[in-house]
Amino acid sequence: MKTPEPIQIIKQRRDAALHALVSGVPYIKFLDITFDRRGDELTGVLHYDPKLIGNPMLPALHGGVTAAFLEVTAIVTLSWALIWDDLESGRIDGEALTPETLPRLPKTIDFSVDYLRAGLPRDAYARARVNRSGRRYSSVHVEAWQDNRDRLFAQGTGHFLMPPRGE
Amino acid sequence: MTDTPDPDTARARAAHQFIQALPHCRALSMTVQDVGAGEATVAMPWSAQIVGDPRTGVVHGGAVSALMDTTGGAAVLSHPTAPVSTATMDLRIDYMRAATPHQTITARAVCHHVTRSVAFVRAEAFDEETDKGPVAVANGAFTLDRGTRT
């Protein structure tokens, strides 16, 4: 019988791959978005900073920041789902993965944001669900909240062009 | 307000103030290029920190969203019915092509219809190669706050 992989090795491989996916993108760093991982589930975390404010009178997060946070979470979640199988089967070596050696990522075709309430000057969280992942196109829905998971402050849906397979 | 300032100057001043007062717009170095009645043009220079794909230097779609949202809000505030504040309700962006790296992206928004409490906005964003068509187009609905209810 095959010995199961030690848990640290599995975590290391998955976290290294996630790091490669996220750390190479300057704009994700600029907004200070990080990702929490539980198994294959990702939660985007937008760390609050005064430069994210749109309306200083309220104050509220800039609508563009909210849109960008949703879009980043959608595209990272979709990319993560795309590499997950290859990562788990060993076709991709997670530990050796760098932003330079990543497979090609999906591109946004369109993105639609629904602003439900003002974004407060504090951390925000987002989770995306891949509703359809086809060979060429996919559709992703994403929800964002702050203090209370049931009180979304924004949600979005986007369509993405998938990278060509089997190069 | 006690005096009645020249509408064009008042509008331009309001738009400049609007952008300058927004920390995130300052962080992205956005500048107002032009303001008309329910229209605004805002530019955002290329910078390394807004890149989405480091292998090509192409700007992230999210930064284009921020520019579209700002320009839309500026167009609403410059509408002749003089709303005092606005917030985005809904914004849809279509990404037509990758913006050419190292080029300024300029968005122009038009507030094409206004009701008592809602403004409908269309916007287009171009890089410096305008003959290639827009980088992205957007449609949005914004809230309108007129300050006083009549």
Domains and CATH numbers, chain A: 7-161 (3.10.129.10)
The answer, for A55 touching chain B at a CB cutoff of 8 Å, is yes
Q: Do A67 and B63 touch (CB under 8 A)?
A: no
What average pLDDT does range A9-31 have in this prediction? 92
Q: What is the pLDDT of residue B21?
A: 83
| Rounded Cα gap, residues B54 and B75, in angstroms | 32
Q: What is the CATH number of the domain that holds B126?
A: 3.10.129.10
The secondary element (H helix, E strand) that includes residue A5 is none
| Rounded Cα gap, residues B71 and B39, in angstroms | 9
What average pLDDT does range B37-66 have in this prediction? 94
What average pLDDT does range B140-147 have in this prediction? 90
Q: Which domain holds residue B119?
A: 7-145
The answer, for B25 touching chain A at a CB cutoff of 8 Å, is yes
CA distances from A16 to A26, A91, A93, A100 (A): 18, 15, 9, 14
Is the confidence at residue B7, as pLDDT, over 70? no
Q: Could you tell me if A142 and A74 are in contact, meaning their C-beta atoms sit under 8 angstroms apart?
A: yes
Q: What is the pLDDT of residue B148?
A: 64
Give how many domains chain B has, as a whole number: 1
Q: Could you tell me if B45 and A17 are in contact, meaning their C-beta atoms sit under 8 angstroms apart?
A: no
Is the confidence at residue A25, as pLDDT, over 60? yes
In a domain, B150, yes or no: no
What average pLDDT does range A14-34 have in this prediction? 93
Q: Could you tell me if A87 and A17 are in contact, meaning their C-beta atoms sit under 8 angstroms apart?
A: yes
Q: In angstroms, what separates the C-alpha of B77 from chain A's closest C-alpha?
A: 13
What average pLDDT does range B39-55 have in this prediction? 94
**pLDDT tens-place string over residues A115-167:** 999 999 999 999 999 999 999 999 999 999 999 999 999 999 999 999 987 54
In a domain, B2, yes or no: no
A55 neighbourhood in chain B, CB within 8 Å: 22, 85, 87
Task: Supply the DSSP symbol for A92.
Answer: S
**Residue in B22, B59, B61 closest to A62 by CB:** B22
Q: Could you tell me if B86 and B144 are in contact, meaning their C-beta atoms sit under 8 angstroms apart?
A: yes
Q: In angstroms, what separates the C-alpha of B99 from chain A's closest C-alpha?
A: 13
**pLDDT tens-place string over residues B130-141:** 999 999 999 999
Is the confidence at residue B2, as pLDDT, over 50? no
Q: What is the pLDDT of residue B5?
A: 55
| Rounded Cα gap, residues A95 and A14, in angstroms | 8
What average pLDDT does range A100-120 have in this prediction? 91
Q: In B48-140, which ranges are continuous DSSP H helix?
A: 61-77
Gyration radius from chain B CA atoms: 16
A114 neighbourhood in chain B, CB within 8 Å: 89-90
Q: What is the pLDDT of residue A1?
A: 63
Q: Do A26 and B50 touch (CB under 8 A)?
A: yes
Q: What is the pLDDT of residue B4?
A: 54
Q: What is the pLDDT of residue A94?
A: 81
| Rounded Cα gap, residues A16 and B41, in angstroms | 42
**Residue in A25, A53, A63 closest to B69 by CB:** A63
- For chains A and B, CB pairs below 8 A equal 125
**pLDDT tens-place string over residues A45-77:** 999 999 999 888 889 999 999 999 999 999 999
Q: What is the pLDDT of residue A34?
A: 97
What average pLDDT does range A81-110 have in this prediction? 86
Q: Do A25 and B60 touch (CB under 8 A)?
A: yes
What average pLDDT does range B78-102 have in this prediction? 93
| Rounded Cα gap, residues B136 and A163, in angstroms | 20
Q: What is the pLDDT of residue B1?
A: 44
pLDDT band at A93 (very low <50, low <70, confident <90, very high): confident
φ/ψ (deg, to 5) at A162: -80, 150
